[in-house]
Structure 1
Amino acid sequence: MSHTPSEKGTPPSELATDKASDRQIEDAVADLNFDNDKTAERCAAGVTSEDAYNPLRRLDKTALLAEADNFVDKFGLTEHRDVFRRGALVAQRPKEYADIPELSDADKADLAFEENHMWKNLSPRLIFCGIAKLIVSNGANLSFPAEFGIGRTVGEPGGERDEWLVGLVNSSVYISSALVGCWISDPLNEWLGRCGEIFVTGLILIATPIASGFTQSWQALMAVRFVMGIGVGAKAATVPMYCAELSPARLRGALTMGWQLWTAFGIFLGFCANAAVKDTGMIAWRLQLGSAMIPAVPLTLGVLFCPESPRWYMKKGQMVMAWQSMLKLRRSDLQAARDLFYAYSQYAEEQKVVQGRTYVSRLTELFTIPRCRRATLAGSVVMIAQQMCGINIMAFYSSTIFKEGGYTDTQSLYASIGFGALNFVFALPSLYFIDSYGRRSLLLATFPNMAWTLLVGGLCFLIEPYDPDSEIRTGIVACFVYLFTIAYSLGEGPVPFMYCAEIFPLAQREQGMAWCVAFNFFWGSVLSLTFPRLLREFTPLGAFLFYAGLNVVAFILIFFLVPETKRLTLEEIDAVFAIPTRKFAAHQLKKTLPYLFKRYICGDKSAVCPPIVHLAEPPNGGEV
């Protein structure tokens, strides 16, 4: 597919024809459900994302108000008829609210404030909804193997077996997350709701770290960590999805990335706890493992004060509860009515296609429906890229890596605190960057930096440890590990989980998120299991160079397979994934690469990259 280059400076939304025909719109909507290769061409011909994926655009005013009346009558919201009629008008033409005569000056002022003051407009309840993720402490890697008699080195009899056992114990959390935890999130969400599921898994994540501190064998520790992984996986598949469903489109990235922000804070707390108990003797590792329950406490208690997802209530047919929940998440009744009515209109369209399908059928649709398959591919790429970059190995084995660099056990623990602090502090700027510059842009900007920092950091291991100035080696290795961490925290850290939480249709959202998280944790278990052997066979130099190469591979995969979703509503993202993967990849090769070369290598500031699809700007404020 080819496009005629646009004039310089022309917004993509203005490149489309003034108004798409009803027939074009109907065809584009059909493409959403049944898909064919004409979707992108239709979009380029003038069917914007608002036309094709906002069913309200096809209605005249009389029909629209009738739909609003039917909605309130059907779901027992008749006392709110007026606000839903006004909300429907805004949902149909969100950028033209100033020209809607039915809106009062106060209504228009609220919408203008929402448009111009995104953060100030947020309901305080939304701020808390970036809930923490439990991170398992890692300092115990230095001591628990000896306690359980599996600390022999490879040169000793049984040393190779012990090396695999240590990797198996460490990776058991990832294994159970990938095999069990992620997949039980759907039935738990179905029975308990988003908040109920998070509360139950939070209890698991409080109990299992405490239990791990009392284990008397490596088998018992592995069993406890296996149970812990079930809670980690179920929570990981739900929390980002929950945050995405609550957030306005323009701030969905920042609010959903609270997952990564508090993940980073949990890592930092874990490192601090490791250092705090380092001098407690033989029980130090037990306290270190038990300290992993600390981030789970605010998670479990805090979710009790969070509203349930309006979309979950919508799926259960409890629209009154959905309305009450939405009122807690938006500043005004009009904004709540607009977002709920718009979300329901999209949900109703979707239900015409997916109604009556089972869990298994919805899971298989991740691979059989082209739109879902593209989202599954993109989500899988960003998830495996997080493991390919090497950050989880750094987080889990940082104490071991610093020790290989020449630090003592104590110095390694303190160096890991610096790693954790940087991971948290440099995740903060992404609150702004993720919605301003976009998810894809952050990924493409940070992977090259992670690659070169690992490359140089690995080469620093060539400095001989017996050199009188060997402290230079330890300092330089730590420096480049820290630079790597900064690059990760700005891009690949915040993006994957929030990206996967937003790219799937509502009908397949639980299954899609479960697949992506399971995919992430599966490869995390593989890397965690094999890293000790990799470190021995490759040496630290080889291990660092290996991951530097994987970062380059991840950059290429993201460039060709991962589209941008910045500031699009959850429903408008359907327009992005209506484009066939081969056409998206071809556009990157034939259009985007030449543009980047002209713009940034040749310095041609007049260069313009033709858009692959002419998407309209998303509605101000968005919907749930």
Structure 2
Amino acid sequence: MHAYNIGRKLQGEKLTNFVAMIAATGGLLFGYDTGIISSALLQIREEFHLSTIGSEIVTSAIIFGALLGCLMAGTLSDRFGRRRTVMVAAFLFIVGTFVAAFATNVEVLSAARLVLGLAIGAASQIVPIYIAEMSPANKRGRLVVAFQLAVVSGVTISFLVGYFLQNYSWRIMLGIGMLPAVILFLGMAFLPNSPRWLALKGNKEEALEVLKLLRDNDTAAENELKSILSNHDTQGSWSELKKPWVRPAVVASVGIALLCQLTGINAVLYYAPTIFSDAGFGQSSALLTSVVVGFAMVCATLFGGWAVDSWGRRSLMLRMIPGAVIALIILGAMFVFHLSTGWGTWVTVAALIAYTVFNTGSLSVAVWLVGAEVYPLSARGKGMSLVAASHWGADLVISLTTLSMVQMLGAGITFWSFAFINAASIWFVWRYVPETKGQSLEELEQHLRDGTFAPVNRD
């Protein structure tokens, strides 16, 4: 019961916010460790004499690890609990960061980034679920988006570190990630288990105790537990996701996870300094551009955190993604017609920032939130593993091919290709993604069971 020590000092909304804040530190590590490579790669390429393919392997090792990590985390979180799985991820962050910072060759560095990837994959699978299962329905959107806010904040911090430490060793850049990893590990040790996981394991008394800590009054906690138990089912296997009544949740969540990456946002994060440096920008200017991109992502995510509970998840995506299409068309044109110098530099940077805002503020905000919401309790852990695996699988493809695409097709055609995929995502969201705003997780599960889980607003 030591995990409830903080809970007894904090009650209701304060505890819920504190839980989200500590758990979201996993997102900070997620963002920092994926983003710092864009700055460090400029030095690593020289020190280890990396080719284009070598650069892509070093960058992609963390993504391959994330793909493995999220698949394993589903089973771990269902068996041992959400909280313990996050602690395992934090431990892997610590180990991976230490080894990466002291790597003496590219093989050790790639292996360390693979371990970091395992941690990132686990965090991306379980932290959104943990926060969603702890949050009340009317605040679930903004609290889960806190995870994505932490991700983009971590990316932004990595860009700032890369810019200010560009004349120092890349090892320092990587090693800084140790501090938030320790905070996450120690913080999770004192937080409660998910009440929904406890109920699923048959521990009703402890589930009620946690809900009483998280909610403003005992009546609300008791009513929520009744709702959870009314939808209670045994722990499902992977075959649960194949059932026809669960399929709409799989299509909606996996589709968003794939599109979040295939629309190109991480291609910009990983390779923006390299692309802009090769296009004629100085190294310092290229790194500074990435810092501006990072701040744009933070602002867009802050806006998205408000909009998911005000506009709704589906409405936000349908309103924002068209802006990403237009921005990418302009960005591609600047490179195709060789206008990215002189006055065109400012248009290029503005188009890049606009794309970042519209894409990050929509698909990137929604991906972990919708994935954590739409699955029934019996399949939520494995369903979110599938979402995270789809996300990281697509990210692996993008990270392995972006520099090669730029070399073969040019940056302009590459950006236009991403514009086409963004346009296709508008149709997908309109056709397959329902509005989940303001509904409890149990209500969403009931919509799946009775066949009313549909891509329409329920306002």
Is contact 1:458-1:545 (8 Å) kept?
Answer: yes
Q: Which amino acid aligns with 2:175?
A: G
Deviation sequence 1:347-371 (CA, Å, 0-9, x none): 1xxx2xx46x5xxxx212212x112
Aligned partners of 1:482 and 1:172: how far apart in 2? 27
Aligned partners of 1:404 and 1:448: how far apart in 2? 29
Q: Which amino acid aligns with 1:299?
A: L
Give TM-score scaled by structure 2 length.
0.90
Deviation sequence 1:534-586 (CA, Å, 0-9, x none): 110111111111101110111112211111111111121134435769x958x
Which residue among 430, 437, 441 is the counterpart of 2:311? 437
The SS at the match of 2:425 is: helix
Which residue among 136, 143, 147 is the counterpart of 1:248? 136
Aligned partners of 1:577 and 1:209: how far apart in 2? 41
User: Structure 1 residues 323, 574: CA separation in 2 closer, same or farther (over 3 Å shift)?
Assistant: closer
Cα distance, 1:461 vs structure 2: 1.7
Q: Who is 1:501 aligned against? A: 372
| Higher-Rg member (1/2) | 1
Q: Who is 1:554 aligned against? A: 425
Cα distance, 1:208 vs structure 2: 1.0
Which residue among 293, 314, 336 is the counterpart of 2:199? 314
Which residue among 67, 70, 75 is the counterpart of 1:187? 75
The SS at the match of 1:307 is: coil
Matched, 1:148 2:48: yes
Q: Who is 1:519 aligned against? A: 390
Deviation sequence 1:242-270 (CA, Å, 0-9, x none): 11101111111111111111111111111
Matched, 1:263 2:151: yes
Structure having the larger proportion of residues in helix = 2
Is contact 1:266-1:295 (8 Å) kept?
Answer: no
Q: Which amino acid aligns with 1:519?
A: S
Q: CA RMSD in A?
A: 2.2
Matched, 1:577 2:448: yes
Which residue among 172, 176, 191 is the counterpart of 2:61? 172
Which residue among 173, 179, 188 is the counterpart of 1:288? 173
Q: Who is 1:99 aligned against? A: none
Give TM-score scaled by structure 1 length.
0.67
Aligned partners of 2:414 and 2:182: how far apart in 1? 36
Matched, 1:331 2:224: no
Which segment drifts farther, 238-247 or 205-214?
205-214
Matched, 1:487 2:335: no
Is contact 2:276-2:286 (8 Å) kept?
Answer: yes
Deviation sequence 1:436-464 (CA, Å, 0-9, x none): 21111111111111111011011112454
Cα distance, 1:400 vs structure 2: 1.5
Listed as ranges, the gaps of 5+ residues in structure 2 are: 1-10
Using the aligned pairs only, state the percent identity: 28
Aligned length: 439
User: Structure 1 residues 190, 462: CA separation in 2 closer, same or farther (over 3 Å shift)?
Assistant: closer
Q: Which amino acid aligns with 1:439?
A: R
Q: Who is 1:451 aligned against? A: 325
Q: Who is 1:363 aligned against? A: 238
Is contact 1:177-1:232 (8 Å) kept?
Answer: yes
Is contact 1:455-1:548 (8 Å) kept?
Answer: yes
Aligned partners of 2:322 and 2:449: how far apart in 1? 29
User: Structure 1 residues 408, 295: CA separation in 2 closer, same or farther (over 3 Å shift)?
Assistant: farther
User: Structure 1 residues 311, 556: CA separation in 2 closer, same or farther (over 3 Å shift)?
Assistant: same
Q: Who is 2:411 aligned against? A: 540
Q: Which amino acid aligns with 1:336?
A: A
Aligned partners of 2:336 and 2:343: how far apart in 1? 12
Aligned partners of 2:229 and 2:451: how far apart in 1? 27
Aligned partners of 2:357 and 2:279: how far apart in 1? 19
Matched, 1:215 2:116: no
User: Structure 1 residues 464, 552: CA separation in 2 closer, same or farther (over 3 Å shift)?
Assistant: closer
Which residue among 262, 270, 279 is the counterpart of 1:388? 262
Cα distance, 1:296 vs structure 2: 3.0
